[in-house]
């Protein structure tokens, strides 16, 4: 009791000093008095008094911004030294309430909420942690370091993915422009001009830009895996593959390159997929995994692929890919792989045939007539190719039917070529006649 009385007397004395300095507008002395009061409470291990003094000091009339900032920063240093979890949460909530709505301590508030969200997540309260993090819009904080902003948004995205809130995860991920990861950190930062907002240095526990890049794309892989968007997953792995620390280490880039190959094969055929496929084949590193090089080579070669022999060759490799960020390749992926092979085979047939019977098409695809017709119809609907099926005759026509405008245009071009040819022929005949007449006169 005596110790408590001494503490109250010392605090009362310092409060009088703080009041005088605050009313006099002395920033340095007010800040020192505020910090000394907090230090006394901390040394006495009176956490209740510490929380009370933080609230009381922040509510003082005309309290200086610098004093509040210093008080919040000082209070944050005590968080890790609290005796138990309950005291820690109470102190964080007190500092959070004091800093709420104050722009000059917005960075401190963001860090406090991140700490509180981490505690909530450890307690298994994922929804509460995600809701807490979403309260803060760090992209509007001018004084926060770029890496700290990105790390905070990535944490928001991660919690949404854990919560299976994929819509909000996508909205939050769009706050990060992927181009920001390509910035050269070695370039010297411009010195801030007078009047500009000074950007704070990121804390020591914030990862580097390249580490954040990897985290960003790993989270995006988890997001795209939810909707089985194979091409986007492939592009994310491609971005990870391009990170210097990954590309320099074969133990890291070989597994990533294998995943790039699998998702390229699983992705539907379109210009982007075709471009990625060719660029991957041109990569000299692909020769280190010849089995996958052969797999990609089959897709760019205009030849029919036998599904049974392909599956028997790659089944072990396919089922062995367990370390996928979005989960292992399962039954859905194997069905999609078969679908891609069928689509490739139909495209090959359309290149070599203008007309083919459904029976022969089904034989080439190793399918029943009904299955062949179904897959062909799906490709026509998705505009992957142009085809017409004459069902009574059982004939598929791959020729593009031109409309009246295209036919007229082609006729016009042909007439123009014909007239040009006639004109050149007349000119040559006239020239020969002139030369012949000149030769007769001379003789």
pLDDT tens-place string over residues 99-122: 877 777 788 888 888 888 888 888
61: left (phi over 0), alpha (psi -120 to 50) or beta: beta
What three-state secondary structure class fits 193?
A: coil
Does 176 score more than 70 pLDDT?
yes
Task: State how far the Cα of 136 lies from the Cα of 324, in Å rounded to an integer.
Answer: 31
Here the contacts of 185-188 (C-beta below 8 Å, separation 24 or greater) are 185/209
| Residues 6+ positions from 53 with CB-CB distance below 8 Å | 11, 37, 38, 41
| Residue owning tokens 């072990």 | 316
Does 21 score more than 80 pLDDT?
no
Task: State how far the Cα of 338 lies from the Cα of 354, in Å rounded to an integer.
Answer: 25
| Residues 6+ positions from 438 with CB-CB distance below 8 Å | none
Domains of the chain: 248-352 (no CATH), 355-423 (1.10.10)
At residue 318 the predicted structure's pLDDT band, cuts being 50, 70 and 90, is: confident
Question: What is the model's pLDDT at position 426?
Answer: 92
| Residues 6+ positions from 67 with CB-CB distance below 8 Å | 22, 27, 30, 31, 34, 57
pTM of the model: 0.77
Q: Are 336 and 230 in contact (CB under 8 A)?
A: yes
| Residue owning tokens 């029943």 | 368
Question: What is the model's pLDDT at position 404?
Answer: 75
SS percent in the chain: helix, strand, coil, step 5: 70, 0, 25
Partners of 202 in the β-ladder: none
pLDDT tens-place string over residues 49-93: 888 877 887 777 777 788 888 888 878 887 877 878 888 888 888
Phi, psi of 406 (to 5 degrees): -65, -40
Both tokens of 217, joined, read 């794309």
At residue 360 the predicted structure's pLDDT band, cuts being 50, 70 and 90, is: confident
Task: State how far the Cα of 94 lies from the Cα of 98, in Å rounded to an integer.
Answer: 6
pLDDT tens-place string over residues 277-286: 888 888 888 8
Look over the chain and give the mean of its residue pLDDT values, rounded to a whole number: 81
Phi, psi of 202 (to 5 degrees): -65, 145
């Amino acid at each position: 009791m005596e110790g408590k009385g001494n503490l109250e007397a010392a605090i009362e004395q310092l409060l009088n000093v703080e009041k005088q300095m605050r009313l006099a507008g002395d920033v340095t002395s007010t800040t020192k008095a505020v910090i000394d009061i907090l230090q006394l409470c901390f040394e006495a291990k009176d956490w209740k008094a510490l929380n009370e003094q933080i609230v009381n000091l922040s509510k003082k009339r005309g309290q200086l911004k610098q004093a509040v900032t210093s008080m919040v920063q000082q209070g944050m240093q005590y968080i890790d030294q609290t005796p138990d979890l309950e005291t820690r949460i109470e102190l964080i909530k007190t500092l959070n309430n004091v800093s709420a709505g104050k722009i000059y301590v917005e960075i401190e508030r963001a860090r406090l909420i991140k700490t509180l969200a981490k505690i909530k997540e450890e307690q298994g309260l994922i929804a509460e942690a995600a809701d807490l993090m979403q309260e803060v819009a760090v992209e509007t904080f001018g004084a926060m370091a770029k890496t700290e902003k990105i790390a905070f948004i990535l944490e928001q995205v991660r919690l949404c993915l854990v919560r299976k809130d994929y819509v909000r995860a996508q909205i939050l991920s769009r706050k990060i422009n992927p181009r920001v990861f390509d910035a050269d950190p070695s370039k010297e930062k411009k010195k801030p001009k007078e009047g500009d907002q000074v950007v704070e240095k990121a804390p020591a526990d914030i990862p580097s830009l390249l580490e954040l890049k990897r985290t960003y794309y790993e989270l995006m892989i988890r997001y795209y895996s939810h909707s089985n968007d194979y091409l986007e997953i492939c592009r994310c792995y491609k971005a990870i593959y391009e990170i210097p620390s990954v590309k320099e280490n074969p133990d890291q880039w070989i597994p990533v390159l294998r995943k790039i190959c699998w998702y390229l094969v699983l992705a539907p055929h379109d210009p982007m997929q075709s471009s990625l496929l060719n660029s991957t084949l041109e990569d000299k590193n692909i020769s280190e995994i010849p089995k996958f090089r052969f797999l990609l080579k089959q897709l760019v070669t205009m030849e029919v692929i036998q599904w049974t022999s392909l599956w028997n060759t790659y089944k072990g490799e396919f089922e062995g890919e367990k370390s996928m960020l979005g989960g292992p390749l399962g039954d859905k992926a194997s069905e999609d792989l078969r679908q891609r092979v069928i689509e490739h085979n139909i495209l090959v047939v359309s290149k070599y045939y203008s007309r083919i019977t459904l029976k022969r098409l089904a034989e080439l695809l190793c399918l029943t007539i009904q299955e062949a017709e179904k897959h062909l119809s799906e490709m026509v609907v998705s505009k992957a190719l142009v085809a017409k099926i004459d069902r009574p005759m059982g004939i598929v026509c791959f020729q593009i039917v031109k409309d009246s405008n295209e036919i007229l245009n082609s006729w016009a071009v042909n007439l123009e070529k014909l007239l040009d040819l006639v004109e050149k022929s007349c000119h040559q005949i006239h020239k020969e006649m002139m030369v012949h007449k000149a030769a007769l006169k001379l003789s």
